[in-house]
Amino acid sequence: MSLEQQLDERGVLTLRLDRTDKRNAIDDEMMTALLDAFTRAGVDEAVRAVVLEGAGEHFCGGADIVARNTEERERRPRAGSIQRRVPTQAHRLIPLVAGVQVPVVCKVRGWASGIGFQLALAADVCIAARDARFWEPFAERGFTPDSGATWLLPRRVGEVRARELLLLGRVLSGEEAAEWGAIHAAVDAAGLDAAVDDIAARLASGPTVALGLTKWLLHEGAQASLGAHLADEAFALELSSRTDDFREGLAAFREKRPPRFTGR
């Protein structure tokens, strides 16, 4: 399988891209598996956080356009094939990662290129090795950005820096990506696993419904009017205040102890 999946006793679902000979570039099989995994994570009550990582030395080398082009040379597709395919693949995956109502933590070592970079941007928290490499290869390859690059990057790093990444093809180190606000933090490579595990454990032990609704509010707020967004906040507050975790949070406050959330 090109995507390994493991759910531990804490409720942390680890999704590991595993095509090490291709720097974990995403082909059709892996894309289908990712779409299925994130869809199921959103409805599986055993899942309280997701960690997305790559096997071996790299996170993700982007989409496997070599495999796609080889296939298309052998069997010429009808006109409009890209326009028909992309909305069901990359352009479905990125909103799933951004919108699934459990926290997503991305772990990056080595290269995060193209859609690999976008997956890191769409995650709720991304931790990278200081020497990781983030790159948008589109201009160098002669085609336009996809997978949300032109939407995500200006919101994360600002329009001027987004142009530097997308038009000039600047490669960012993990440390630079953290300084620019593209990712949450950069750490020494030796400490990457521990840093991600700590974040994932904290999120998995949190009030899962409230965290999921907070994530939804942050995503929707990027394009809503103030009035519409305040209505969304009232809706989310109504739902979260009906959870067991809300009652536990109040009890913990009264009893001056750390809360013990169950995710319900």
Taking residues 24-40, what's their average pLDDT? 95
Residues 174-191 have a mean pLDDT of: 97
- pLDDT (0 to 100) of residue 116: 97
Query: Dihedral of the CA atoms 67, 144, 56, 71 (nearest 10)?
Result: -10
**Amino acid 223: pLDDT:** 86
Provide the pLDDT for residue 74.
55
Type of residue found at 259: P
pLDDT at 23: 94
In the prediction, which pLDDT does 79 show?
A: 55
CA dihedral 183, 188, 193, 198 (to 10 degrees): -70
* Closest-CA residue to 62 (of 116, 3, 119): 116
Is residue 153 over pLDDT 90? yes
Collapsing DSSP to helix, strand or coil, 184 comes out as coil
pLDDT at res. 84: 63
Q: Are 101 and 83 in contact (CB under 8 A)?
A: no
Q: Which residue, 55, 147, 40, is CA-closest to 108?
A: 55
Render pLDDT for 56-93 as a digit per residue (tens, 0 to 9).
999 999 987 655 554 555 566 665 556 566 656 788 89
**Distance between CA atoms of residues 96 and 42, nearest Å:** 9
- Taking a C-beta distance cutoff of 8 angstroms, is the pair 212, 249 a contact? no
Tell me what the mean pLDDT of segment 223-249 comes to: 95
Q: What pLDDT, on the 0 to 100 scale, is given for residue 86?
A: 64
Query: Per mean pLDDT, which range of 10-14, 82-86, 95-99, 208-212 is the poorest?
Result: 82-86
Statement: residue 260 has pLDDT above 80:
yes
pLDDT band at residue 5 under the 50/70/90 scheme: very high
User: Is it true that domain 3-204 has CATH number 3.90.1150.10?
Assistant: no
What is the distance between the alpha carbons of residues 198 and 113, in angstroms, rounded to a whole number? 25
Place of tokens 């309280």: 48
pTM, full prediction: 0.91
pLDDT of the residue at 91: 85
Residue 81 is predicted with a pLDDT of 59
